[in-house]
Amino acid sequence: MFLSKLFLPITKNLPSDAKIKSHQLMLRAGMIKQSSAGIYSWLPIGLKVMKKIEEIVREEQNKIGAQELLMPTIQPAEIWKESKRYEDYGEEMLRIKDRQGREMLYGPTNEELITDIFRSSIKSYKSLPQMLYHIQWKFRDEIRPRFGVMRCREFFMKDAYSFDVDEANAKISYNKMFYSYLKTFKRLGLQAIPMAADTGPIGGDLSHEFIILAETGESKIYTDKSIFKIDVNNYNFDIKSLEKMRNDFSSVYAATDDKFEQIKFDKLVTKQNQIITKGIEVGHIFYFGDKYSKPLNCFIDNKDGKKNSVKMGSYGIGVSRLVGAIIEANYEKEVMKWPKSISPFDVVIIPSISKNNKENLTKSLKLYDDLKKQNIDVLLDDVDENMSQKFKKHDLIGIPYQIIVGSKSTESKIEFKEINSESSFIDFKEVKSKIKS
């Protein structure tokens, strides 16, 4: 892609409510545009990053055996009346009437709808366990949408649902998701801490939030440094190892504001190890047994011939929120650096161009073609601007690698730079391995 052709509406004027870095940067770099409070259009660069996150989330869900489907955004009110959440959900639910006067709603979550799908097809314990997920827009009429994509009214969520014969099996599904979440966040370059959490309007008695550390986070968190030593890669994907993983995490003190107890914190965590900071919730998982399956009559025939309610859990990842959260975690002194796994481009070529000298541009076009042939997603900055303006712009866009084509580069040696560090001269053949390693 040539920068001169890219739809990248960089803006300088920020609205006064853009208070945190990720919100400011996403507006400045033309990643999103607000259409009304808490509702955004995703412009090409923003969408590209979000789609890459979505794909990583999808791959990690598939790896643990979850199956993708797609439910609609608009749901009928009846199933929510059956579960008794229609009234309880209150003002956050956007309620709609169709032309026949039927009550509908824009889904804030999908426990009811998935239970309805499940009850109409699965009748026997032999078909269990099952894990189903979709990645779909949600709507919550938040009282105070803020921080850009972090607390929106319309947002993109991966939500998965597990179905098991009994509680013991349901906890195995819960642990599999727990594992998958840690793997997912790792691939996104994030260190997420699982924390026992309250269940709120979703309900149930077992729940974890996955929180990444960031000063601008909405949740205050209290934990022990030693939690960072627990590495998901040290566990296998089998029942015992997954159980051990969850127990290892649970044995370290970690709490958000609502669950925090000073006495316990001081007793369990030495002063040197105490971490008190803020964080962003990027995922949330729940086990709620038959909270929905019972009222919705989702029963299966068990081995012993008796009918039993299916035991369920639900598991959310804020895909659109992650775009903002990753910026908060990576932004440093006016420079953005995307993790390679989700960067809008693999590398940018920045030639020094002037009216009288088009030689660097010609050299760059050749490099561009070569990289394209190697399947590298490359941006060529062919805009006629001086180098300091160019660098400023690329600090904002955040592509992690730059090839600078100026008087110093030769046919064989090119100037290569990782954003936010010093450049060096390398052989062109090494570029691919540098970028993809």
- Chain residues binding ligand P5A by CB under 6 A are 109, 140, 142, 151-152, 155, 157, 159, 202, 281-284, 286, 314-316, 318, 320-321
Nearer to ligand P5A, 140 or 394 (CB): 140
Q: Are 419 and 402 in contact (CB under 8 A)?
A: yes
User: What is the smallest separation between the CB atom of 95 and ligand P5A, expressed in angstroms?
Assistant: 17
Q: Report yes or no: 246 and 180 within 8 Å, Cβ to Cβ.
A: no
Q: How far is the CB of 267 from ligand P5A (least distance, A)?
A: 29
> Whose CA is closest to 49, among 368, 326, 401?
326
**How many CA atoms, within 13 angstroms, populate the side-chain half-sphere of residue 277?**
15
Return the exposure string of 69-93: e unless at least 16 CB atoms fall within 10 Å of the residue's CB, then b: eebeeebbbebbebbebbeebeeeb
CA distance to 42, 157, 383, per residue, from 69 (Å): 23, 13, 43
Q: By C-beta, is 140 or 337 nearer to ligand P5A? A: 140
- Calculate ∠ Cα 357-358-362, nearest 5°: 145
In the bound state, the residue with its beta carbon closest to ligand P5A is 318
Between strands 206-213 and 192-196, the pairing is antiparallel
Residues in the chain: 437
What is the SS3 assignment for 113? helix
* Nearest CB to ligand P5A, comparing residues 159 and 346: 159
The residue (of 290 and 381) whose beta carbon lies closer to ligand P5A is 290
- Closest to ligand P5A by CB, 53 or 378: 53
Q: Which is nearer to ligand P5A, 30 or 313 (CB)?
A: 313
- The minimum distance between CB 221 and ligand P5A, in angstroms, equals 14
Q: How far is the CB of 300 from ligand P5A (least distance, A)?
A: 22
CB of 83: closest distance to ligand P5A in angstroms?
13
Beta strand pairing call for 67-68 and 154-164: unpaired
**Beta carbon nearer to ligand P5A, 137 or 425:** 137
Burial of 184 per CB tally in 10 Å (0-12, 13-18, 19+): buried
Q: In the complex with ligand P5A, which residue's Cβ is closer, 50 or 152?
A: 152
**Closest distance between ligand P5A and the C-beta of residue 116, in Å?**
15
In terms of CB distance, is 314 or 360 closer to ligand P5A? 314
Residue closest to 46 by CA, chosen among 189, 147, 148, 137: 148
CA distance 44 to 55: 16
Least distance in angstroms from the C-beta of 380 to ligand P5A: 34
b/e string for 11-35 if b means 16 or more Cβ within 10 A? eeeeeeebebbbbbbbbbbbbbebe
Tell me the CA distances in angstroms from 236 to 62, 192, 201, 285, 422, one per residue in order. Answer: 17, 19, 33, 20, 39
Instruction: In angstroms, give the least distance from the CB of 347 to ligand P5A.
Output: 30
Q: Shortest distance, CB of residue 53 to ligand P5A, whole angstroms? A: 12
